[in-house]
A and B are shown apart, each in its own frame.
Chain A
Amino acid sequence: MCYAHLFSHLLEFRTDDGLFFDNLRGLIMPNSDQSANIEGVFTKISDELDISEAHYEDAVAKYEAVGRWLDANDSPLHVHMPRIYAQGSFRLGTVVKPLSGKDEYDIDLVCHLEIDKKNISQEELRNMVGDRLKAHKDYKRMVEGGRRCWTLHYADAFHMDILPAIPDYEKMKDSIWITDKQLRAWQPSNPKGYARWFREQMKGMFAQHRQLLAGSLKANVEDVPEWKVKAPLQRAIQILKRHRDIHFEQDKDDQPVSIIITTLAGHAYAEEDNICDALVNLVDKMPNHILVRNCEYWVPNPTNPEENFADKWNEYPARREKFLAWLAKAGRDFEEALELGSPKRITEVLQGVLGDVGNLTDEQTFATTTADERDEYPEVRISRPVSQWLSWKK
C-alpha cells in the first residue's frame, strides 16, 4: 500500500478505465485485495462445479415423478409406501460437474419400502422395484440394472441411481438395508443420518450463510431452501473433488472415493468461515482422521462405526499412499495459488490443477465476491447512532 502514492498521478488522467488501475493496485498491494480475489476465484470455481439451480430443480421434479409412479394406486409397491429421497453428494450439496462434457451428473436416490427384512430377499426387493420401473412406458427404455441399483438414463445431463432399500429397525434412526448382487448379506446404510452428521460438522457456518443468502434474497431464513445454501466446507469439498478428478484422470482405479474425502473433510473442518482457510486446513488435517484399528486403516462411517469406508485400502495399500500423496499435492497447489499476486495468475494456476472451470477472469468475479465470501467484516462499534429519517425531498 505504501507505494500507492507513486501511482497516484495515474488517477488524474485516467477516469474511466478502472480495471487497469485495479489490476495495477493488485500488483502493488498484495495483501488487501488479493486474498479477497482468491476467495472470489474459489467461490466462482465451486459455482461452476456445482449443478445449476435449473438442473437441480429439474432433477428433483424428475425423481419425484418416479416416486409418484412407484406409489401410484395401481402399483404393486403402493402397499409398501415407497418413498424416494436423495442421498450422497446431491443431498450433501457437494455435487461436482463431471470432468468431460460427455459425462452426466450422477444423482443417487434411495427407494425406501416399508418391508421387514424377514419377509423379503434381496433379489425380490430388487425385482419389485425394477419391474415397476419397467412397467412405465418411458422408464422401461431408460432403465438399466446395476450391481446395487437401478439406473435411469435421462437424455439431459444426468442419470439417476435408484437404490432399493428397506428399513433397519434395530439400528439408529433412518438406518436402512440395501441390496448388493455380489454379496449374500444385506448391506447397512444410513444416508439421512450421514447427511445430518455432515450438516452438524458445519452447523454454525451453514446457518450463517443461510442467513446471508436470506438477506440478499430479501427472504425469511426459513424460506431459503437448504440446498441453495453453500457453506465454505461444501465449496471446499467440491474443489477437492475436482482436484482429485484431474489428479487421478489416468488412474481411475486408485482414485479415492468421494465418501472418504467428504468424511475426512467433515472431521477436519474447524468452522473456517472462508474457502481458502478451509482448504488449507483440510488438506493439512484430513490425514489425521484416518484411524488404525487392529493393524487396519479405518475411515469409519460416522453413522455406523462398524462400516469402514476405506476397507479397500487394506486390500490395496497403494491406494492409501496415493490418497496421501494427492492430498499433499493439492495442498501445494492451493498454497502456490494463494501466494500469487494477480488474479490472472491465480486463475492460470488453478485452471492448471482444476481443469476448465469456466471463465474466471471477468471483472465481475472480483467485484461481487470480494469481502463477502472471504468473510472479512471489519468491526464497527456504534456508540452514538444518529437518528434517521427521510428528509431529502418532499
Chain B
Amino acid sequence: MNTLKSESVGQLANGFRGKNDSTGIVEEQFEDLLGKYSGLKLRWQEGHPVVKGRLSFKALYDGRSVKDWYDIEMLLPAKYPCLPPRVREIGNKISRDIDYHVSEDGILCLGADLAVLERFYERADLLWFVDELVVPHLASCTWRRNGEAVPWEQLRHKGEGLLEFYKDRFGTDDNFTALRLLKVLVDHNYKGHTLCPCESGIKLRHCHGDVLKDASKYPVVFSREYCHIFELLKDDIEDIGPYVPRSIRLRGMRRRRVKGR
C-alpha cells in the first residue's frame, strides 16, 4: 500500500515540526496548486491559511472519465504540513447524505485518518493532496449524483468501515484481533518482546510488529477511530477490561468519550 519508508516519514514530520512558521511552505505549494487549478485563491483567516474557490477537474479512472467542478474551502491546520488540510464543500452541490461521505457542515471524509495521512505524507504537498485525495473523492460524488456506480470499492460508514480497513491493514479476519492490535497504537505501547495481541504465540516484533511500527509513525489520533470500532463491537465483548485503552482507563470508565480532533 504505502511505499514510503518509515524513516523518511518520521524525518518529514520532524523536519516540519521544527518550523514554527509554515507561511513560506504554504505560499510555495499554493503557487504550484494554482498552476493547475486556476479557480482557487489563497486567503488568510485569523492567521490560518485557507484555500478557497472553484475546483474544476476531469478525473480519469480505469477507462472512465468524469468532468465537474465544486466550490471548496481547504482549511490548512496550524501544523500544516504535518497534518493534511480539511476540505469543505461550500457550494451545497453535494447532498449532506451519509452516502456522499460529507458531513453536515460540508467537511469531506476523504478516508480513514491513517490512509489519508499515509497518502498525504508521500509528498506532503497541496497539489498532491488535491490530486490524490480531494479530486478522487469529488469524482466519486459526481458519479453518485449522476446515479452511476463509483468504480472503486467504497467502505461502509463509521465503525464498520474502519474495522474493514484495519482488518485489511493488519491482515486478519477477526474483528477482535484487529481491535487488540489497534489498541497497541492507541496506547503507544509497542513492546517488541511481548507476545503479539493476535494470539499467534509469536513475539510481536516477529509478527505484527512492522505494520504497527509503520502506522505509529503518523500523527494519527487512533483513539478516535478505536472508539468507533469499540462502540460497534462492545456488545460482543465478554470482558471489556483488556479492550479499554490505557488513557481512558486512567481517567476512569465514566469518561469514556474521546474528543475528536
- List residues of A whose CB falls within 8 A of some B CB: 1, 4-5, 8, 11-12, 15, 18, 22, 32-33, 36, 208, 211-212, 215-216, 218, 220, 367-368, 370-372, 376-394
Residues of chain A lying within 8 A (CB to CB) of residue B235: none
Q: CB distance B145 to A218 under 8 Å?
A: yes
CA gap between A386 and B98 in the complex, in Å:
17
Q: CB distance B101 to A370 under 8 Å?
A: no
Q: CB distance B152 to A387 under 8 Å?
A: yes
Q: Which of A33, A211, A215, A389 makes the CB contact (< 8 A) with B154? A: A389
Nearest B residue (CB) for A4: B31
Is B35 on the interface with A (CB-CB < 8 A)?
Answer: yes
Contact of A394 with B39 at beta-carbon distance under 8 Å, contacts A377-B58, A387-B165, A389-B161 already known: no
A-B contact pairs, 29 of them (CB 8 A): A8-B27, A11-B23, A32-B35, A208-B67, A215-B93, A218-B145, A377-B57, A378-B37, A380-B139, A382-B60, A382-B135, A386-B110, A386-B111, A386-B119, A386-B132, A387-B115, A387-B155, A388-B109, A388-B140, A389-B112, A389-B154, A389-B156, A389-B157, A390-B98, A390-B161, A391-B162, A393-B260, A394-B158, A394-B231
CA gap between A391 and B60 in the complex, in Å:
26
Residues of chain B lying within 8 A (CB to CB) of residue A5: 27
CA gap between A380 and B45 in the complex, in Å:
29
Please give the distance in Å from B81's CB to the nearest CB on chain A: 18
Is B233 on the interface with A (CB-CB < 8 A)?
Answer: no
Please give the distance in Å from A32's CB to the nearest CB on chain B: 5
Residues of chain A lying within 8 A (CB to CB) of residue B224: 391
Digit string of B156-190 for contact with A (CB within 8 Å is 1, else 0)? Answer: 11101110010000000000000000000000000
Q: Which of B31, B69, B101, B111 makes the CB contact (< 8 A) with A371? A: B69
Contact of A390 with B42 at beta-carbon distance under 8 Å, contacts A372-B54, A379-B58 already known: no
CA gap between A386 and B139 in the complex, in Å:
12
Is B6 on the interface with A (CB-CB < 8 A)?
Answer: no
Q: CB distance B31 to A390 under 8 Å?
A: no
Contact of A11 with B44 at beta-carbon distance under 8 Å, contacts A1-B31, A218-B145, A389-B156 already known: yes
Residues of chain B lying within 8 A (CB to CB) of residue A220: 147
Residues of chain B lying within 8 A (CB to CB) of residue A376: 38-39, 56
Q: CB distance A370 to B39 under 8 Å?
A: yes
Which of A33, A376, A385 has the most chain B CB atoms inside 10 A of its CB? A385
Q: Give the number of residue pairs across the A-B interface with Cβ within 8 Å.
A: 161
Contact of A389 with B111 at beta-carbon distance under 8 Å, contacts A215-B68, A380-B58 already known: yes
Please give the distance in Å from B22's CB to the nearest CB on chain A: 13
Contact of A380 with B60 at beta-carbon distance under 8 Å, contacts A388-B154, A389-B158 already known: yes
Digit string of B50-67 for contact with A (CB within 8 Å is 1, else 0)? Answer: 000110111111000001
Q: CB distance B228 to A394 under 8 Å?
A: yes
Q: Which 5 A-B pairs have the closest CB atoms?
A: A389-B161, A386-B111, A371-B56, A377-B58, A382-B61
Residues of chain A lying within 8 A (CB to CB) of residue B37: 371, 378
Residues of chain A lying within 8 A (CB to CB) of residue B35: 1, 32
Please give the distance in Å from B117's CB to the nearest CB on chain A: 10
Nearest A residue (CB) for B112: A391
Q: CB distance B140 to A385 under 8 Å?
A: yes
Tally of contact residues, B, Cβ under 8 A? 70
Digit string of B113-155 for contact with A (CB within 8 Å is 1, else 0)? Answer: 1011001000000000001110111011010011100001111
Please give the distance in Å from A273's CB to the nearest CB on chain B: 10
Please give the distance in Å from A375's CB to the nearest CB on chain B: 8
Q: CB distance B162 to A381 under 8 Å?
A: no
Residues of chain B lying within 8 A (CB to CB) of residue A386: 110-112, 115-116, 119, 132-133, 136
Q: CB distance A388 to B56 under 8 Å?
A: no
Residues of chain A lying within 8 A (CB to CB) of residue B23: 11-12
CA gap between A391 and B35 in the complex, in Å:
32
Nearest A residue (CB) for B98: A390
Nearest A residue (CB) for B92: A218
Is B25 on the interface with A (CB-CB < 8 A)?
Answer: no
Nearest A residue (CB) for B137: A388
Nearest B residue (CB) for A208: B67
Please give the distance in Å from A231's CB to the nearest CB on chain B: 15
Q: CB distance A215 to B145 under 8 Å?
A: yes
Which of A5, A382, A384, A393 has the most chain B CB atoms inside 10 A of its CB? A382
Q: CB distance A382 to B154 under 8 Å?
A: no
Residues of chain A lying within 8 A (CB to CB) of residue B162: 389, 391
Is B41 on the interface with A (CB-CB < 8 A)?
Answer: yes
Q: CB distance A377 to B139 under 8 Å?
A: no
Q: CB distance A11 to B27 under 8 Å?
A: yes
Nearest B residue (CB) for A14: B44
Please give the distance in Å from A5's CB to the nearest CB on chain B: 8
Residues of chain A lying within 8 A (CB to CB) of residue B227: 394
Please give the distance in Å from B21's CB to the nearest CB on chain A: 11
CA gap between A391 and B37 in the complex, in Å:
28
CA gap between A392 and B131 in the complex, in Å:
22
Q: Which of B93, B110, B132 makes the CB contact (< 8 A) with A216? A: B93
Which of B37, B39, B67 has the most chain A CB atoms inside 10 A of its CB? B39
